[in-house]
Copies of this chain bind each other. A is one copy, B any other.
Amino acid sequence: MPARPTLDFWYDFASTYSYLSVMRIEELAEGAGVSIRWRPFLLGPIFAAQGWNNSPFNLFPAKGKYMWRDLERRCRKYDLPLKRPAPFPQNSLTAARIALAGRDAGWTPRFTRACFALQFGEGRSIQDEPVVVEALRQAGIDAQGALAASKSEEVKGRLKAETELAKSLGIFGAPAFVTQDGELFWGDDRLDDAIEWVAQ
């Protein structure tokens, strides 16, 4: 049996448009016979390298105002609840480390969905440990074990390496999708195109 075609899905837990893709990607990929590799990373260091010390949606107010309205329209279109978390953007370090701690055991997608649903569906602060613990529990994951693993040097190093790799792939925002032949697609608006590219 030939291996299923694979698409790398790069996302940051603080990213609003990543919420849309996190909630949509599994069904789309399944329908197209594509496997998804979930690759959480941190946009912060990539933004910092181009001189931004905050989200562009905060740095550029007109863009930020538009994004929230656009996100509202997209969530309605995709039938997703939306409640703005405060502060925005959330510090996504803890959630990203936890997600990477679940890579080998395979629960990264489940945790990611639960975490995004709490953050953008209910407006909860994923910077707070009780909220990520709640996400772990909702996803049926041993919370104490996951938290401990997420604080290991191995997982910390893994996140740094993933973020470096994202940068070297030319990723400058999230979500991003990268095919095995190096084709980069940026934004939830390109999710369908990325899957189609890989499926063909």
Q: Which of B60, B70, B185, B187 contacts A186 (CB 8 A)?
A: B70
Q: How many residues of A contact B (CB 8 A)?
A: 20
Q: Encode contact with B along A172-195: 1 for CB under 8 Å, 0 otherwise.
A: 110000000000111101100100
Q: Which of B65, B170, B171 contacts A170 (CB 8 A)?
A: B65
Contact B172 A63 (CB under 8 A): yes
Contact B189 A66 (CB under 8 A): no
Q: Which residues of B contact A187 (CB under 8 A)?
A: 189
The answer to the question of A83 belonging to the interface, with a C-beta cut-off of 8 Å to chain B, is: no
Contact A60 B172 (CB under 8 A): yes
In the complex, besides A62-B170, A63-B173, 8 extra interface pairs with C-beta distance below 8 angstroms are A60-B172, A62-B172, A66-B170, A66-B172, A66-B184, A69-B184, A70-B185, A187-B189
A residues at B contact (CB < 8 Å): 50, 60, 62-63, 65-66, 69-70, 73, 170-173, 184-187, 189-190, 193
